């Protein structure tokens, strides 16, 4: 007769073998609306995940900041309420200070330089730093956030043009310092509050890349877009660490692979979107100011790079050495 313990093992194995592996719907979030390159790339990751796991892992997207502003969504991801979040690296700085190297004004020479850095070993290193920090996040990949330029009702060519102008910045003291150093007055607030803050004059303007300026309808209120190019901030997508730990090693590998694909796919979508939105803002009468004294802004922001970058001097040298 079979021993009771052996029987129990056999039974347990049989149950395990026939029990369907529980399906899991991952909750993804973005401050941008449906159709925005980052949102589309994340949804495409979801479709591939669904196909590769035959519907076992799916992704549900909550776009358009329905789950709150970026700061709050970062907190929700840390707490496990959101599984995958696409966020600017900006508001992640106060949570993982090491990422502030990428958030500093004029740290990248161009968008091409930024892309080369995030695609290479330094990009991987920063992702690992986030994952290994106490933030409860697993950093999966990068997305493109273009170049941030200034928009108010007046042309801005040099620091003096910003005197007395209140400019909304993302939630990170580094950015308020940056705007103050540039000659304006930095005020931090959520992206969602900005449109009405500009309408009511709480702020005179803000700064962002072309797709955000257009998608957020900011171009209808602050109609002068000055090419200061002071920030080239990569965006990132992060996973809740608690949820990540529940996934099998195979699923983790699959998601990492799809994350890299999403990084590349978003870039294609991004470039198209910038062209489309640039045409749209021109057609609606936005003045683009190109003769900006960028050197003056570079010099004016040196104290910010000194303050936030001195602890990472070697890393900054390595960033600069990337061709």
Report, in Å, the least distance between residue 98 CB and ligand BDP.
19
**122-130, 206-214, 265-273, 311-319 -> range binding ligand BDP (CB under 6 A):** 206-214
Among 127, 170, 214, 231, binds ligand BDP (CB under 6 A): 170
Token digits of residue 196: 């009405």
Q: Which residues contact 203 (CB under 8 A, 6 or more apart)?
A: 166, 167, 168, 187, 189, 194, 197
Per-residue x/- mask for ligand BDP, residues 14 to 33, rule CB under 6 A? -----------------x--
Among 191, 219, 225, 237, binds ligand BDP (CB under 6 A): 191
Q: Report CA torsion sign: 110, 113, 118, 124.
A: negative
Report, in Å, the least distance between residue 86 CB and ligand BDP.
7
Token digits of residue 115: 């892309």
| Contact flag: residue 277 with ligand BDP (CB under 6 A) | no
> Do the Cβ atoms of 151 and 221 come closer than 8 Å?
no
Q: How far is CA 86 from CA 27, 150, 238, 244, in A?
A: 11, 23, 7, 16
Among 144, 161, 235, 277, binds ligand BDP (CB under 6 A): 235
Compute φ and ψ for 290, nearest 5 degrees.
Answer: -100, -25
Which of 87/180 has CB closer to ligand BDP?
87
Token digits of residue 127: 């992702």
Q: How far is CA 276 from CA 41, 88, 173, 300, in A?
A: 17, 21, 32, 33
| Contact flag: residue 77 with ligand BDP (CB under 6 A) | no
Binding residues for ligand BDP, total number by CB under 6 A: 11
| Contact flag: residue 208 with ligand BDP (CB under 6 A) | yes
The residues facing 236 across adjacent strands are 87, 142
Q: Report CA torsion sign: 270, 271, 276, 278.
A: positive
Among 103, 152, 165, 212, binds ligand BDP (CB under 6 A): 212
Kindly state the helix (H) or strand (E) to which residue 224 belongs, with its residue range: strand 224-231
Q: How many helices (H) and strands (E) does the chain have?
A: 14, 11
Report, in Å, the least distance between residue 244 CB and ligand BDP.
21
Which of 69/124 has CB closer to ligand BDP?
69
DSSP annotation of 232 reads: -
Q: Report CA torsion sign: 79, 81, 84, 85.
A: negative
Among 88, 103, 180, 263, binds ligand BDP (CB under 6 A): 88
Which of 31/167 has CB closer to ligand BDP?
31
Which of 48/218 has CB closer to ligand BDP?
218
> Do the Cβ atoms of 210 and 278 come closer than 8 Å?
yes
| Contact flag: residue 83 with ligand BDP (CB under 6 A) | no
Task: Look at the block and give the residue holding tokens 């990428």.
Answer: 102
Which of 58/72 has CB closer to ligand BDP?
72
Report, in Å, the least distance between residue 313 CB and ligand BDP.
28
3-state secondary structure of 257: helix
Among 43, 77, 87, 226, binds ligand BDP (CB under 6 A): 87
Among 93, 123, 145, 186, binds ligand BDP (CB under 6 A): 145
List contacts with ligand BDP (CB under 6 A).
Answer: 31, 70, 87-88, 145, 170, 191, 208-209, 212, 235
């Amino acid at each position: 007769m079979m021993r009771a313990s052996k029987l129990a093992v056999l039974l347990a194995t049989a149950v395990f073998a026939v029990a369907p592996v529980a399906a899991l719907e991952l909750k993804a979030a973005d401050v941008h609306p449906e159709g925005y390159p980052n949102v589309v790339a994340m949804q495409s990751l979801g479709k591939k995940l669904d196909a590769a796991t035959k519907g076992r892992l799916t992704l549900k997207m909550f776009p358009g900041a329905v789950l709150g502003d970026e700061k709050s969504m970062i907190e929700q991801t840390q707490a496990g309420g959101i599984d995958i979040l696409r966020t600017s690296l900006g508001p992640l700085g106060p949570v993982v200070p090491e990422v502030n190297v990428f958030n500093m004004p004029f740290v990248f020479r161009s968008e091409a330089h930024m892309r080369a850095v995030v695609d290479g070993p330094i990009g991987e290193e920063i992702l690992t730093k986030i994952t290994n920090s106490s933030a409860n996040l697993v950093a999966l990949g990068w997305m493109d956030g273009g170049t941030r330029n200034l928009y108010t009702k007046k042309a801005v060519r040099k620091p003096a043009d910003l005197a007395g102008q209140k400019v909304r910045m993302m939630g990170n003291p580094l950015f308020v310092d940056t705007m103050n150093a540039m000659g304006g007055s930095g005020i931090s607030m959520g992206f969602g509050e900005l449109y009405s803050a500009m309408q009511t004059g709480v702020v005179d303007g803000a700064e962002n890349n072309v797709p955000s300026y257009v998608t957020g309808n900011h171009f209808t209120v602050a109609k002068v877009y000055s090419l200061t190019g002071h920030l080239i901030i990569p965006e990132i997508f992060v996973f809740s660490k608690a949820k990540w730990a529940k996934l099998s090693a195979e699923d983790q590998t699959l998601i990492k692979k799809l994350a890299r694909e999403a990084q590349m796919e978003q870039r294609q979508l991004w470039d198209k979107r910038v062209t489309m939105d640039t045409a749209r803002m021109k057609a609606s009468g936005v003045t683009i100011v190109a003769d900006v004294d960028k050197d003056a802004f570079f010099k004016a922001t040196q104290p910010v790079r000194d303050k936030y970058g001195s602890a990472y001097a070697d890393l900054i040298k390595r960033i600069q050495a990337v061709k």
